[in-house]
Structure 1
């Protein structure tokens, strides 16, 4: 064999011997040692990416729910996790972690879009409900604090007159009451209340009620001046089956904040 052929063969053998190091998942000790060896061969920036990718894949392979339920032992879960990394190079580990992240982001976006759709549908339903709720009118509303014998606490009293202009029987009505002074930007009290209507209120019927909220609630604590005005807004009506007929309450503060965050995250109008 000629000298240059021998030299070429030696170089080829040397390149094979110096192949890229791989992870060894045969045991926990072998995995730790091989991971350290793989990391040592990488430049600092890529080493950081490898370590993050390694951790992601290792945790991905651990089924914590199955461990907590006793369906798999911690040792068995660790073995499964090491098996998912066994024989991989640094580039393969990084590529696999990137694929996991892409798939996870796709799932998160799909779930977020479904949640946005659900919240926006709830908003639309609330807007539609307002049209029907406007037909259930509050024709008179009064609020007062009445002295009670042998008690230092005054009793809050709500007097309200309503007319059911909807085409449905109503079993319970939900209201938002506001006590405010004309010309002042901040009301003295904004509080919800509701009333289960004995016998219900049929379409076209009117009724007058005197309600006594809990004296220890916010109704019993309010200190409004004599010129304050009490207004009432209808927020929801339940039908004969006690299910909501019309609900205009829309989103809660938490839901509204959640919707805003999701739409900003995915750049939606």
Structure 2
């Protein structure tokens, strides 16, 4: 909108600068006419005129065409020259303003679509949390076990679970936390998942003993004796090995992205 107001003011100012037109008959003539039109402008508007010319030229670039060889830098220059042949500085500015407005409309449409997508993902995660409550973990234990002939300790996770959902489960995903009572910051947090041999049918229970990578984070856990190991189910895959319930929701970056987009576009 500011650009439109500015353009309206410029039309009056530029009217006294003559009607120098761009000559697109050849590349040499085009360059000379640009130089002539630029020199005829008030000094404060010359940079803007050059920016407008660049914008118009860039708007003609088709990345797909460039990649496939159907378009070349020279063809872009030639098509820009043909489009602007006979145009005055004011007309060039009008065209650049139209391109900017079209771009703003597209950006807003894309942003609103992204907002809806992120909101939908957030809502779906909240619904999934309710379904995941049916998949219960009645026992969770973690410890480091001494290994014979090795200075490394073997991390072990023991879980007792029950599939209270109405669907068979092929893989379960967990967020693990090791924390001490009364402490706000946990000693350790990490995610892990387990592909269930034969799956877990509805109302079926199982006891698992898992062995995380002893050379990764699990093998370096250092927590006091009073620390408690808890796990939270955040995703379950169905028989087709696709996400059945996924409560992972939005990442921290996605949350910030959603807030920024809503602040910029939702009220508009």
| TM-score (norm: length of structure 1) | 0.88
How many angstroms does 1:107 deviate by? 0.5
The separation in 1 between residues aligned to 2:63 and 2:125, in whole angstroms, is 41
Unaligned 5+ runs, structure 2: 1-16
For 1:13, the equivalent position in structure 2 comes to: none
For 1:167, the equivalent position in structure 2 comes to: 166
The separation in 1 between residues aligned to 2:111 and 2:236, in whole angstroms, is 31
After superposition, the Cα gap between the structure-2 partners of 1:106 and 1:210, relative to the gap in structure 1 and judged at 3 Å, is same
Of 100-109 and 62-71, more deviation after overlay is shown by 62-71
- Asked if structure 1 preserves the Cα contact closer than 8 Å seen for 2:57 and 2:76, the reply is no
How many angstroms does 1:208 deviate by? 0.9
For 2:74, the equivalent position in structure 1 comes to: 75
3-state SS of 2:113 partner: helix
The separation in 1 between residues aligned to 2:135 and 2:67, in whole angstroms, is 53
Of 252-261 and 205-214, more deviation after overlay is shown by 252-261
3-state SS of 1:227 partner: coil
CA deviations over 1:104-134 (Å, ceiling 9, x no partner): 1100110111111111101100000111101
For 2:148, the equivalent position in structure 1 comes to: 149
CA deviations over 1:116-153 (Å, ceiling 9, x no partner): 11111011000001111011111111100000111111
The separation in 1 between residues aligned to 2:91 and 2:238, in whole angstroms, is 61
Output the aligned Cα RMSD: 1.7
Q: Which structure: larger Rg?
A: 1
- Asked if structure 2 preserves the Cα contact closer than 8 Å seen for 1:67 and 1:77, the reply is no
The separation in 2 between residues aligned to 1:32 and 1:215, in whole angstroms, is 67
Of 34-43 and 60-69, more deviation after overlay is shown by 60-69
Of 44-53 and 230-239, more deviation after overlay is shown by 44-53
3-state SS of 2:71 partner: coil
Matched, 1:215 2:201: no
For 2:57, the equivalent position in structure 1 comes to: 58
| TM-score (norm: length of structure 2) | 0.89
